[in-house]
Structure 1
Amino acid sequence: MRGIDLHTHSNCSDGTFSVKELMDYAHEKNLSAIALTDHDTVDGLDEGALYVKENYPDMEFVPGIEFSTVEEGKDVHIVGLYIDHHNTEFTGKLQQFIDSRTERNKKMCKKLSEEAGIPISYEELVSSFPGAVLTRAHYAKFMVDRGYAKNRNEVFDKYIGDNCPYYVEREKISPEEAIGYVLEAGGVPILAHPILYHMSDRKLDALVARLKGAGLKGIEAIYSTYSPSEERQIKELAVKYDLAVSGGSDFHGANKPKIDLGTGMGKLFLPEDLLGPIKEMSLFYSETAQF
């Protein structure tokens, strides 16, 4: 049985592979399906779908996205799979979210320049990473490459970590809102890597129960950094709340050098038979069957 990977990133967000390079690598790794789930953007989906269709008919391309949301001060991510990324309601809401992120980045550049004495402008940052949804990883690379900081850790520890003086918070949306966006696009909302939120078992159970009520359809029970016991725990939650089992490597290329596509830290494997139940939940896929 071949493997799949339902959580990956390209340089349209904070990965280092181009969309085509990522698709080439997925085929090289003999994956039968790959989802592109860049942070808060769908910019690479048309390119990925067309490239796979023309070059790799034995590999399925799954159009996706990963939304950054906030739950009680913690980052909680919602992955959307099999989305209709041309749905006008969906794209309108996504554009509002992107616009607010742009304003946040302009404010953060101004603070770094005027208060920290680091000559960084929003325009220069954009030109350095054309087409990317700017994240703090881009700030870190920019500052290290230009000698404003010694390494990525210094950037986050001194300048733009959550409680640092030059950090500006982005617009916050709730996990329920992100689930709604995905459902609007006919997609399948998945709770991403829940172990990473470091919640108590009770709180995690309550979160999953609440999000199930909001329309959550799946949960990442197979993930690069999970231990066997953690994987069992999330699979038990999937059974308890009748959620599809999903997962993936969370591949970012050189930005997460220990994580490889399809295999994570070496032991990850998502069997291709996990894809069917997820695909069947997608209203977009069932209506169009175009991917």
Structure 2
Amino acid sequence: MDSLALIDLHIHTSASDGTFSPQEIVSMAKGKGLKAVSITDHDTVDGNEEAIKAGIEIGLEVVPGVEISVEWEGRPVHILGYYIDVKNLILQSTLKNLIAFREERNPQIIKLLNSLGLNISYEEVKAIAGDGTAIGRPHFAQALVEKGYVKNGDAAFKKYLKRGGPAYVEKKRLTPHEGIQIIKNASGIPVLAHPYNVDGIKNKDLELFILQFKEMGIEGIEVYYPLHNSQQTLKLKNFAEKYGLYITGGTDFHGEQKPDIKLGSGFGALKIPYELIIKMKEKQEAKPR
């Protein structure tokens, strides 16, 4: 095995709120010399089939994935699912319902933006997202940029769309147990995404937080992440090893929505070794067919 082989297991495509298609992501990853990627779109698996097909054609390993939003103690937490069966009917039905809830929220965001004097229509947002794409806040942010109300997507979130912002609307989320079990039911491995991004989680709270999710069935931690500093990365790695959890990593790449984050390397220095997925692959291969 190539000890220098690198991967990126947290990538968003145009199937949710990324700006590149699954096929484009695979081509870009191959061009950067990555050995494996995972498509982890928000509450949808629609981009996986295209990515897997493209990966087979050019020789890039594609791990089928998803990122599901759950609510824990009133706060959003993200759960990554790896090696999922994207055709699992319960998974598909649940994700379809989550997308429907998201679509119910979107007109409310438009009303709030309009009440703030921002002339944005839902038709404009849908045009930005494109056909077949689950509309999310980044598409509203892009509309604000295109109208000249803010200079970039980050500014749109900070000023209007972030949680607690004047145009923020809560969306329907699963409980942690529901999200984890849906991934497991689809033969997947549930992984706790970027723990330090969870509102209010500090070093003193981290171990208890991880233990609570382990008791609910989480099997891994996203240790390598662009916003984790070296101390945080080491702390998460130690907890993963202490509690027998898989170690994973990814950039949370969105393309032009987050231009500072580069595919495969985050802010430029992130290196996620291929060896991290070996144990996950072994577990999946050992499952009865």
Please confirm whether the aligned pair reaches a TM-score higher than 0.5, indicating the same fold.
Answer: yes
| Equivalent residue for 1:254, pick from 253, 256, 264 | 256
Number of the residue aligned with 1:128: 128
Superposed CA RMSD in Å reads 2.0
Does the alignment pair 1:26 with 2:29?
A: yes
Distance 1:128 1:267, change over 3 A: closer
Number of the residue aligned with 2:237: 235
- C-alpha displacement of 1:247: 0.7
TM-score normalised by length of structure 1 = 0.90
Does the alignment pair 1:155 with 2:156?
A: yes
- For each residue in 1:11-53, what CA deviation from the matched residue of structure 2 results, as whole angstroms up to 9, or x when unmatched? 2222222111110011111111110111111111111111111
In 1: Cα distance, 2:225 partner to 2:231 partner: 12
Does the alignment pair 1:42 with 2:19?
A: no
In 1: Cα distance, 2:233 partner to 2:118 partner: 43
In 1: Cα distance, 2:151 partner to 2:32 partner: 35
| Equivalent residue for 1:17, pick from 10, 15, 20 | 20
- C-alpha displacement of 1:287: 4.8
Number of the residue aligned with 2:247: 245
Does the alignment pair 1:60 with 2:61?
A: yes
Structure 1 stretches of 5 or more lacking a match? none
- Written as runs of structure 1 = structure 2, the 5 A alignment for 1:98-247 is 98-113=99-114, 115-130=115-130, 131-197=132-198, 199-247=201-249
Letter in 1 for 2:265: T
In 2: Cα distance, 1:216 partner to 1:134 partner: 28
Does the alignment pair 1:7 with 2:10?
A: yes
- For each residue in 1:213-241, what CA deviation from the matched residue of structure 2 results, as whole angstroms up to 9, or x when unmatched? 22111111122232222111001110121
- C-alpha displacement of 1:74: 3.0
- C-alpha displacement of 1:66: 0.8
- C-alpha displacement of 1:5: 1.1
Contact kept in structure 1, 2:91 and 2:182, CA below 8 Å = yes
The sequence identity of aligned pairs, in percent, is: 39
Distance 1:108 1:28, change over 3 A: same
- C-alpha displacement of 1:64: 0.3
* Paired residues, number: 284
Paired residue secondary structure (2:190): strand
- C-alpha displacement of 1:170: 0.7
- For each residue in 1:39-80, what CA deviation from the matched residue of structure 2 results, as whole angstroms up to 9, or x when unmatched? 111111111111111x223x2111101112232333311100
- C-alpha displacement of 1:243: 0.2
In 2: Cα distance, 1:103 partner to 1:116 partner: 20
Moved more, 7-16 or 141-150: 141-150
Contact kept in structure 1, 2:98 and 2:173, CA below 8 Å = no
Distance 1:160 1:271, change over 3 A: closer
Contact kept in structure 2, 1:6 and 1:246, CA below 8 Å = yes
Q: Which runs of 4+ in 1 moved over 4 A?
A: none
TM-score normalised by length of structure 2 = 0.90
Contact kept in structure 2, 1:69 and 1:172, CA below 8 Å = yes
In 2: Cα distance, 1:230 partner to 1:258 partner: 20
Contact kept in structure 2, 1:188 and 1:217, CA below 8 Å = yes
Paired residue secondary structure (1:104): helix
Paired residue secondary structure (1:79): strand
Structure 2 stretches of 5 or more lacking a match? none
Contact kept in structure 1, 2:6 and 2:271, CA below 8 Å = yes
Letter in 1 for 2:120: I
